[in-house]
Amino acid sequence: MSKKNTAATIATIIVAVLAIATTLFLLYQTSQQQIQENQYNYVPSDEVNEEMNMNAVTLIKNNCEVFRIYLQYGLPHQAEPYNNVPEDGYYT
């Protein structure tokens, strides 16, 4: 390998490392700014907060009902169409 090729290779590697470092630094700075900007943007009003609290009770009650039905009856099992099984490589 000649000196011209060696110098060009070293310069290319240095430029590539600097480009990667700059990109990572800018991505880190951007993510930190987004975290700081979005941290306290939304504060719900009292009316919205009250409505969310009322709906949370209904949501929890409905989820408990669904979970009770699942525990009581389980999930129905249906045979695979065309008799495929995961081991036959059809799914991969």
Residues spanned by the domain of 2 = 1-41
User: What's the mean pLDDT when you consider all of the chain?
Assistant: 77
Do 56 and 35 fall into the same domain? no
- For residues 23 and 47, membership in a common domain is answered with no
Any domain includes 51: yes
Is residue 85 domain-resident?
Answer: no
| Predicted pLDDT of residue 23 | 92
Note whether residue 84 is domain-resident: no
Q: How confident is the model at residue 2 (pLDDT cuts 50, 70, 90)?
A: low
Q: So what's the pLDDT on residue 88?
A: 60
pLDDT tens-digit series, residues 5-39: 888 889 999 999 999 999 999 888 887 665 555 55
Count of domains in the chain? 2
Instruction: Classify each residue of 53-87 as buried b or exposed e, where b means 16 or more C-beta atoms within 10 Å of its C-beta.
Output: eeeeeeeeeeeeeeeeeeeeeeeeeeeeeeeeeee
Please indicate, yes or no, whether residues 8 and 33 belong to a single structural domain of this protein: yes
More confident residue, 46 or 66: 46
- Helices then strands, each counted (H, E), the chain: 2, 0
78 and 84 in contact (C-beta within 8 Å)?
no
Does one domain contain both 37 and 73? no
